[in-house]
């Protein structure tokens, strides 16, 4: 030992450090989460949503009850409609599909000035993965939050970091990872990943 160092203060520092290590070792440490926070604005799930096979839509052709009704996009991506037959519906929004149906009705001279409105009735499912009791795919409904999504998956399991999660969302064809909390709104196609707490 160097003569100018006092052994007693050093021993105290070492013991304090060891005690802090033991205390911190028993606490959960935040897992690695993205720095960017997920948007908290609920938004309209139908806005910008691209229709896909299996989606059910409601079509209203104003003044034409025989052309209106609920229809399902077939596996090929078509909507089979009265009078006009198949209309390509996959990969476009409900608003774009409305215009496409109007164009078909006008082109085929069924109606002079058709007005159509399409509303998506079902959406792409969402997914809950990681430290939950029943991870998997779940049908989307309006008003979902991270907390209600986790509840659909049976709740957190005993290893879960409760509260903040990783939210994976596709925006303009690209996947983005966000940090989200239990109040964050969920959109169709979102992936909620519950992290494992670090002990």
Contacts of 37 (CB under 8 A, 6+ apart): 178, 179, 180
* Mean pLDDT, rounded, of the chain: 84
Q: How many domains does the chain have?
A: 2
Helix (H) and strand (E) counts in the chain: 3, 10
Of 158, 171, 169, 104, residue with least CA distance to 131 = 158
Do both 147 and 168 map to the same domain?
yes
φ/ψ bin of 163: left (φ > 0), alpha (ψ from -120 to 50), beta (otherwise) = left
Q: 2-27 pLDDT, tens per residue?
A: 444 454 554 444 444 444 443 344 44
Q: Is 178 among the domain residues?
A: yes
**What sign does the dihedral 104-108-111-113 (CA atoms) show?**
positive
Name the range with the highest mean pLDDT among 7-11, 81-85, 129-133, 158-162: 129-133
Same-domain check for residues 150 and 116: no
Same domain, 146 and 182: yes
Domain-embedded: residue 8:
no
Using alpha carbons, list the distances in angstroms from residue 110 to 61, 102, 167, 188: 12, 10, 47, 35
Determine the pLDDT at residue 34. 81
Q: Which of 103, 120, 137 is the last residue of a domain?
A: 120
Final residue in a domain of this structure, among 90, 120, 150: 120
- The C-alpha angle with vertex 36 and arms to 45 and 183, in degrees rounded to 5, equals 50
Helix runs in the chain, H state only: 7-25, 94-107, 146-152
Provide the domain limits for residue 181.
126-194
Report residue 30's pLDDT band, with 50, 70 and 90 as the boundaries. Answer: low
| Highest-pLDDT range among 43-57, 122-136, 169-183 | 122-136
pLDDT digit string (tens) for 136-156? Answer: 999 998 889 999 999 999 999
Residue 154 shares a structural domain with residue 172:
yes
- Residue 141: which CATH number? 3.10.560.10
Q: Which residue has the tokens 């499912």?
A: 125
Q: According to the model, what pLDDT value does residue 61 have? A: 95
How many CA atoms are closer than 13 Å to the CA of 119, on its beta-carbon side?
8
Between vectors from CA 83 to CA 79 and to CA 85, what angle results, nearest 5°? Answer: 35
Higher pLDDT, 64 or 36: 64
3 belongs to a structural domain: no
Q: Confidence class of residue 183 from pLDDT cuts 50, 70 and 90?
A: very high
Q: Are residues 64 and 115 part of one domain?
A: yes
């Amino acid at each position: 030992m160097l003569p100018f160092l006092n052994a007693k203060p050093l021993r105290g520092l070492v013991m304090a450090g060891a005690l802090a290590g033991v205390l911190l070792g028993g606490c959960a440490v935040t897992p690695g989460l993205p720095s960017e926070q997920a948007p908290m604005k609920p938004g309209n799930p139908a806005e910008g949503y691209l229709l896909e096979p299996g989606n059910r839509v409601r079509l209203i052709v104003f003044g034409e009850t025989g052309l209106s009704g609920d229809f399902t996009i077939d596996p090929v991506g078509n909507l089979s409609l009265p009078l006009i037959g198949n209309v390509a519906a996959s990969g476009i929004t409900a608003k774009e599909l409305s215009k496409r149906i109007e164009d078909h009705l006008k082109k085929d001279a069924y109606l002079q000035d058709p007005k159509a409105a399409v509303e998506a009735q079902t959406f792409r499912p969402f997914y809950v993965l990681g430290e939950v009791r029943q991870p998997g795919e779940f049908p989307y409904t309006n008003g979902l939050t991270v907390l209600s999504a986790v509840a659909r998956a049976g709740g957190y399991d005993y290893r879960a970091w409760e509260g903040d999660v990783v939210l994976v969302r596709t925006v303009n064809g690209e996947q983005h990872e966000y940090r989200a909390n239990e109040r964050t709104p969920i959109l169709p196609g979102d992936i909620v990943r519950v992290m494992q707490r670090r002990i």
